Structure 1
């Protein structure tokens, strides 16, 4: 007679580095969304940009466009957090494909962040008229640090067995394999 346990109840807990990595990914996504929303709070810059791009818009149209962009950005941020949370949870359950996707996304984010830091540090950003808020740079550095730490933790030797066990378990659970 079965006890009513589900296959997930029999699954071993992920190693500590993998579990920490999961929370770093989720934290990074939340912080990235907060960073993005902070950029949107500077409505004067957004309004000036809208007026520059479309000088024929009236104030009501500018306000509507600003509200629409903030709403869309908030929804996009929520989707981003949900996607990263889903990937991080799958990675913690031993799904190697989720680990690879997170590594690629995190690596691209770190590369983009480093490029941005170099552009600010060398004065290229200012030369092209990009103003950079110091709060944004600090949040970007923190996000990059979280991503780097999460990537390293996922690929530690102590984590490798977790992904191998999950792959073997998936093959054994698949009929006809």
Structure 2
């Protein structure tokens, strides 16, 4: 007689971390949308830097730069969502990957500076990482490893 596999429910810490990763991802999307509104600022910055580009070339360069930033933001949003769902499923590698990405985010923030929204996002990410490594989270991940 076969026994039913035990269904493991994520603890509140993992669910909290999952929710925070969703919020962080949403903030990333909002930031990408805000970048779309900054084309004039980027064009002015390129012109102020000097160079021999025509107005059409500067406009084109700004459009390409903004498009690339938005595409990268969408790719990272999809990556973070996928990792958040894997974290919720108890996958240790996802938890570690999110922690590493958060450290990289912190390093980038301190080296380059950022807008207020980035600082808020960083605090959310750090809180999510802390929640994902609490004892209850560790026990859940270990149990999921034994019962995939």
**Quick one: distance in 2 between partners of 1:22 and 1:50?**
39
RMSD: 2.4
1:157 corresponds to:
135
Query: Contact 2:35 / 2:66 at 8 angstroms: preserved in 1?
Result: no
Stretches of 4+ moved more than 4 A in 1? Answer: 114-117
Structure 1 segments unaligned to the other structure (5+ residues) = 1-6, 118-131, 171-177
Q: Please show how residues 109-120 of structure 1 align to structure 2 within 5 Å.
A: 109-115=105-111
| Offset of residue 46 of structure 1 | 1.0
State the distance in 2 between where 1:116 and 1:64 align.
Answer: 25
Unaligned runs of 5+ in 2: none
Q: Deviations over 1:52-111 (max 9, x none)?
A: 556222222222222222222221111111000001110110100110010111122234
The structure with the largest alpha-carbon Rg is: 1
1:35 aligns with 31
Paired residue total: 144
After superposition, residues 3-22 of structure 1 pair within 5 angstroms as 11-22=7-18
The one of 93, 98, 110 equivalent to 1:97 is 93
TM-score (norm 1): 0.70
Residue 140 of structure 1: aligned partner = 118
Q: Which has the higher contact order (CA 8 A, sep 6+)?
A: 2
Which secondary structure state, in structure 2, belongs to the residue aligned with residue 106 of structure 1? helix
Select which of 71, 76, 79 maps to 2:72: 76
| TM-score normalized with structure 2 length | 0.82
